[in-house]
Structure 1
Amino acid sequence: MNKLKYILIFIFGILLFPQASIAQIDFNAKPDDDLGNVSDEFQELFYEALQQKAIENYDKAIIALQKCIDIDDSESILYFELGKNYNKLKNFGAAEDALKKAVSIVPDNEWYLDELYESYAQQKDYDKAIKTIKQLVKYHPDYKEDLAALYVRTKNYKDALKVLDDIDDELGVSDERDRLRNQIYNATGQKKEQIKNLEDRVENNPDAEKNYLALIFRYSENNDKKKAFETAKKLLEINPKSQLVHLALYKFYLEDDNAALAIQSMKVVLVSRQIKPEAKLKVLADFVSFVGENPQYENDLVEITSLVTENTTDAKTFVEFAEYYLAKNDKEKAIEYYTKAQAQEPENFGILRNIVLLHIDLNEFEQAEQKSTLGLEKYPSQPVLYLINGVALNQLSQYKEAIETLEIGLDYIIEDVKLEADFYKQISKAYTGLNNLAKAKTFSDKAKKLETPN
């Protein structure tokens, strides 16, 4: 919690000295070295303490404050400052003593109590922290949230929920408090109470979309799909423009064999600006899977593909489309989407590898050679790129170049017998192309030896 501590030197002066005395003191004057002037000496030591604390010389600040106390031990601000310096030095025992002394002099000072609370919190002395923060809750509602969090730490879940309910009644719900509330429900297994709380929110505030969404999620989590579906439809009824609800609806429609509405919901999700890319990717994967099993809806996928690709900057989305077309053996289309993905993630080696392998499959050897050569400039220790480059060069009858690149690539193979055998086969092929049959046989034999089981 952000502290509300803005104690200026001027305020310290007001706290320490009567106004009449302040009026008589020239703060710009050099302090008198005569220690008989107690007021000047006290003032000089106190500001010395503040100055040393500001430059993190906490030990020196403490010495100055203790001298102040020797002069006048009745000022609560001295013990407060002493406690703060001890806290900075992690001397929590001394900090507690000093701060309790400050509180004993001025029991209702928020700043003193807050610093004492922080000292207990740093020591993880939660029982004392709770006792102290109970005195603070009357000053600011943020302290109530700290109190609830402390109750959770001490597993006093009943009191924690009571505090959270009080804050929600006073201020309305918040995401941060809901996270703490859900932590309690998860720790205690109070699923029914969790759902009841959300049902009450929906009833009390029927226009709040987030309450419906949270309730849908919890129903689904508890495998109560019927209530989840009913709640989703109710949200859509009261808020037809809701986009987030379709993250749940499309699944319910699919399970209900309502393909038309499922596709409609998936389209809403995939073009939504409110929904995060990770969630869209999951829906897209489900859409692709659905069309794979129901090819009669492929036109819908083509339509949504064009809409999504116009706006997306997410490589994973393009990879999903590429893999869909790859599964359909449409390799040209797969390369198209892998290339779009590569534009978003140019450092992604996996995407590059897939592209050059597809060019080999399509007998597009010039493209495979060019892209694998460029790839080797980025990834000079990837043996698979040397192999692809060698395959392409062999197919282009550039045998010497193929041998050169393949021999370099061999040095990067680590305990991969199959890959090594593939290299030897390609080197053998290159030597065959050069009509060096003796060398060709040598490498062919090496490949066969690796492929022969021991």
Structure 2
Amino acid sequence: MKTKLYVLLFFFGMIMLPQNTYAQVDFNKRPDDDLGNVEDTFQEYFFEALKQKGIENYQKSADALLKCIDIDDSDPVLYYELGKNYMQLKNFGAAEVAFKKAVSKAPKNEWYLDELYGVYIQQNDTNKALKTVKQLVEYHPDYKQDLASLYIQLEKYREALKILDEMDFKFGYSEDRDYLRNQIYNLTGNNEDRIENLEERVNSNPEDESNYLLLIYRYSETGETLKAFDAAKRLLVFNPDSQLVHLALYKFYLDENDITNAIKSMKVVLTSPVIKPEAKTKVLNDFVKFVSKNPHYESDLIEITSLISEDKSVKTLVELGDYYLKSNDKSKALGYYEEALKQEPNTFKIIRDVLLLQIDLNKDAEAVTKSEEALEIFPSQPILYLINGVANNKIKQPEKAIESLEIGLDFLVENPKMQADFYTQLSESYKQLNNISQSQTFAKKAQALLKDQ
């Protein structure tokens, strides 16, 4: 029976205990101070602890381990397992005591130190965590990043940056460390050091596109546009095939009124497979705004929009619609709004703009159909009833117009101008029905409202 227990304990030890603990056990002899072969009572408590931990009965597991410790407390694994149970029970004070005991018996055991470090992190005890992680750094350089993070929490920014510099020099740059570095720069407001670090990266590795892009962004962020422009041009020297740099270049060229190069950069952006659609949208929107102030570049706008005819966002389509509407090209404006509506069929503003243009362009039958569809989605919007009434009047369907207009009036609240429009359309409907008395009544109501405005 004991032989079976020893074999089981061996396998439990392989799973549960740190490598440096079970590797020292000699199963060919029976010492009285080792977890592998101890007296039956000790074994029973220890196996009970393992069993209870396995079924997540952490308090009973801890109780069993305490009985083991009463019999023989020489092995630090007992305190290590005890501490892990207390961690599960959120009893961090008891866990700290247990792990410290394990560390005192095996000061060079990384597992024990790591668990103790975890206790201090849970308790937000930064000073104790710092002390412990300094010990861990001796065994694993990866803990240096934790050390830098703790220095930041303690506002020891120089120490943190020194560690990050050491790690970057030894292992190369990483996103995680860059995040910590930028956190320091943001907290201290030290943009000079931030930019100096990026300039060093560019100089040490001039073919790395990402460093230039970060440098361009940071210069732009601090308002140093000329330096950002210079960094972008430097990137093109080392990497003339760069596409991402044109996301910055087009803006610089526009600001300098270098339209030829701005258009070239925008074409690169809009046809690039590596640039995200949302970035392309921003570029196109910027050019739409530029052309609205400089209409003689409209042919370039048409050429650029054709480059992404299959990949326009709703925002881009609406911007183009707005541009052509301001230019009084209502037909083109309607086309772009209708494209936008295909992508977002339930957006009220786009529906309204489409309907108003359909009325203006005498697409009255389409306006009737579209307004009826819209009323199924927005049954309490008076403007839709008004548009439906106008469209029905224009196609000589006065009964349908009256029905729609009367319903719409019930939803109208404190809008005299729109109310006057409703009355004007009702007047037109009754006129078509040769009900001159009703037509004149509504015409007078409309005039009275407009007179008060």
Q: Distance in 2 between matches of 1:149 and 1:428?
A: 75
Aligned alpha-carbon RMSD (Å): 2.8
Q: Distance in 1 between matches of 2:377 and 2:390?
A: 19
Alignment of 1:42-57 (within 5 A): 42-53=45-56, 57=57
Q: Does 1:370 align with 2:369?
A: yes
1:393 is matched with 392
Q: Provide the secondary structure at the position in 2 that maps to 1:381.
A: coil
Q: TM-score, normalised by structure 1?
A: 0.86
Q: Distance in 1 between matches of 2:436 and 2:61?
A: 89
Q: 1:37 to 1:391 in 2, by over 3 A?
A: same
Q: Distance in 2 between matches of 1:438 and 1:389?
A: 23
Alignment of 1:39-438 (within 5 A): 39-53=42-56, 57-310=57-310, 312=311, 314-438=313-437
Is 2:409–2:419's contact at 8 Å kept on the other side of the alignment?
yes
Q: 1:230 to 1:401 in 2, by over 3 A?
A: same
Q: 1:237 to 1:16 in 2, by over 3 A?
A: closer
Is 1:309–1:318's contact at 8 Å kept on the other side of the alignment?
no
Is 1:117–1:132's contact at 8 Å kept on the other side of the alignment?
yes
Q: Distance in 2 between matches of 1:80 and 1:298?
A: 74
Q: Provide the secondary structure at the position in 2 that maps to 1:363.
A: coil
Q: Distance in 2 between matches of 1:343 and 1:58?
A: 59
Is 2:14–2:22's contact at 8 Å kept on the other side of the alignment?
no
Q: 1:127 to 1:356 in 2, by over 3 A?
A: same
Q: Deviations over 1:188-244 (max 9, x none)?
A: 121111111111111101110011111112222232222222211111111111011
| Residue-pair matches, total | 434
Q: 1:233 to 1:72 in 2, by over 3 A?
A: same
Greater mean deviation of Cα atoms: 206-215 or 339-348 = 339-348
Q: Provide the secondary structure at the position in 1 that maps to 2:274.
A: coil
Q: TM-score, normalised by structure 2?
A: 0.87
**Which residues of structure 2 form unaligned runs of 5+?**
1-10, 31-37
Q: Distance in 2 between matches of 1:179 and 1:341?
A: 38
Is 1:313–1:344's contact at 8 Å kept on the other side of the alignment?
no
AA in 2 matched with 1:326: L
Q: 1:174 to 1:17 in 2, by over 3 A?
A: closer
**TM superposition shift of 1:313:** 5.2
Q: Distance in 2 between matches of 1:362 and 1:418?
A: 23
**TM superposition shift of 1:450:** 5.2
Greater mean deviation of Cα atoms: 286-295 or 231-240 = 286-295
Q: Deviations over 1:387-437 (max 9, x none)?
A: 222221222222222222233334444554544443344334333433444
1:11 is matched with 15
AA in 2 matched with 1:169: F
**TM superposition shift of 1:440:** 4.2
Greater mean deviation of Cα atoms: 425-434 or 440-449 = 440-449
**TM superposition shift of 1:39:** 4.5
Is 1:49–1:65's contact at 8 Å kept on the other side of the alignment?
no
Greater mean deviation of Cα atoms: 240-249 or 324-333 = 324-333
